[in-house]
Structure 1
Amino acid sequence: MATGETGFDDVTYDLISVQYHSLKAGHDYGQYVRDAENAGKDDIAQFFKEVMEQDSQRAQRCHEFLRDLGGTDNTSPQGDVSGGSDPNAT
Structure 2
Amino acid sequence: MTNVTEGGEVTGTKDKNYDLIWFAEQCLSNALRMETYRADAERAGDQELAELFGKAQHESAKGAELAKGLLARRLNQS
TM-score category, normalised to shorter length: 0.7 to 0.9
**2:26 paired residue among 10, 18, 21:** 21
Q: Which runs of 4+ in 1 moved over 2 A?
A: none
Query: Quick one: distance in 2 between partners of 1:21 and 1:14?
Result: 10
Counterpart for residue 78 of structure 1? none
5+ long unaligned stretches in structure 2: 1-5
Query: Quick one: distance in 2 between partners of 1:9 and 1:54?
Result: 27
Counterpart for residue 45 of structure 2? 40
SS in 1 for 2:75: coil
In the TM superposition, what is the alpha-carbon distance from 1:6 to its structure 2 partner? Answer: 2.0
The count of aligned residue pairs is: 70
Amino acid at match of 2:75: G
**Structure with bigger gyration radius:** 1
Per-residue Cα deviation, 1:30-76 (whole angstroms, up to 9, x for no partner)? 110111001111011000000000000000000111112125xxxxx
Instruction: Let me know the Cα RMSD of the aligned residues.
Output: 1.4
Query: Quick one: distance in 1 between partners of 2:21 and 2:75?
Result: 13
Query: Quick one: distance in 2 between partners of 1:30 and 1:42?
Result: 14
Q: Does 1:67 align with 2:72?
A: yes
Query: Quick one: distance in 2 between partners of 1:29 and 1:45?
Result: 9
Q: Higher RCO, 1 or 2 (CA under 8 Å, sep at least 6)?
A: 2
In the TM superposition, what is the alpha-carbon distance from 1:18 to its structure 2 partner? Answer: 0.5
5+ long unaligned stretches in structure 1: 72-90
